Amino acid sequence: MRKDLGVQPALFPMPVVIIAAYGADGTICAMNAAWAQICDMDKIALFIDADHKTTKNIMETKAFTVNIANRANMETADFFGIATGNKMPEKFARSGCAAVKSAFVNAPILTDYPVAIECELAEEVETPNLHAIVGKIVNVSADETVVGDKDKIDPTKVDALIFDQYRNGYYAVGEKVGQAWNAGAGLMKK
Q: Where are the domains of the chain?
A: 14-189
Structure confidence by residue, pLDDT tens digits, 111-170? 999 999 999 999 999 999 999 999 999 999 999 999 999 999 999 999 999 998 888 899
What is the CB-side half-sphere exposure of residue 30 using CA atoms within 13 A? 33
pLDDT band at 9 (very low <50, low <70, confident <90, very high): confident
Instruction: Give pLDDT, residue 176.
Output: 82
pTM: 0.93
Give the helix, strand, coil percentages of the chain, each rounded to 5.
Answer: 20, 40, 40
Task: List the CATH code of the domain at 14-189.
Answer: 2.30.110.10
Query: What are the Cα distances from residue 97, in Å, to 18, 27, 30, 133?
Result: 12, 13, 10, 24
Instruction: Give pLDDT, residue 152.
Output: 94
Average pLDDT, the chain: 94
